[in-house]
Amino acid sequence: MIQINLLAVSVGNTRTRVGAFVDGELCEVSTYSNDRLDRIASAIEQANKPLSEVEDACVLVSSVNPNVIDDVMALVKKHTSRQVYRVEQDMAIPIGRQLDPEALVGEDRLLNAAAAFEKLKQACVVVDAGTAMTIDYIDGNGTFHGGAIVPGAQLMLDALTKRTALLPDVDFKKPDELIGHNTTQAMLTGAFYGMRGIVRSVTEAIAVETGQYPIVVATGGDAQVIFRDDEFVNRVIPDLGLHGIAITLRKHLEHEDSSA
């Protein structure tokens, strides 16, 4: 197997995640809000350090945010002095797809799916708990079928504040109590257990539809808070998307070697 040396950058709706793979091992991972380009620049510079003496290192960027990607690409080029490649544009994500012809699917969902199937080699559901929460089904042949998209926990709380007269601004965290004895705790309980309930309900419906119960993998910024002690979720992998970028590069290089 080809050992990957890679600077991986994943631009999300709200945050950008940066990581370095050295001989296939992920290190130097950091995440910053998209409005902190100075921090993202520092993260890119720091992640590039262990790769600075590696001749075959590659830079591969994915994005679901067209408003931020140009600024991040400029930072990557400035702080790495390497050719920068884009996921899907330069290297296709190695996952089969069974979708409507006009469907546009975020690169993050496909990267998560590719990484999850590469690790598990069986049917699975991938939950990405971020600004939005996606729940996607990958069958036993490694084909991505799509799934469900719902508001993430913070977005749910923000919607309550925006669309009601008296509910306060609340930053998402795990509630202190199951039964909320004040408004803030009641809102946190609704968001926290609402996320868990949605995942369980959608996954059970997928199991009925497909005739098999898939492994459930969670990732994303809120995954640890929501799912780390949830018995329904089999694994929490915070850096699944970065691993998806690394797998995209490895499969691309393997294909080039086999075609040479």
Q: Return the structure tokens found at 216.
A: 């459930």
Among 84, 80, 139, 136, residue whose Cα is nearest residue 111: 136
Are 233 and 227 in contact, with CB atoms under 8 Å apart?
A: yes
The answer to whether 103 and 122 are in contact (CB under 8 A) is no
Whether 108 is a known active-site residue: answer yes
Between CA 236 and CA 238 the distance in angstroms is: 6
Q: Do 26 and 243 form a contact (C-beta atoms < 8 A)? A: yes
Buried b (16+ CB within 10 A) or exposed e, 226-256: bbeebeebebbbbbbbbbbbbbbbbbbeeee
CB neighbour list of residue 5: distance below 8 Å, 6 or more residues apart: 21, 22, 23, 51, 54, 56, 57, 58
The residue annotated as part of the active site, out of 56, 70, 90, 108, is 108
Sheet of 6-11, strand order? 25-33, 15-22, 6-11, 58-63, 84-86
Tokens linked to 46: 């720091």
Tokens of 260: 């040479």
| Cα–Cα dist 173/133, whole Å | 16
Active site residues: 108
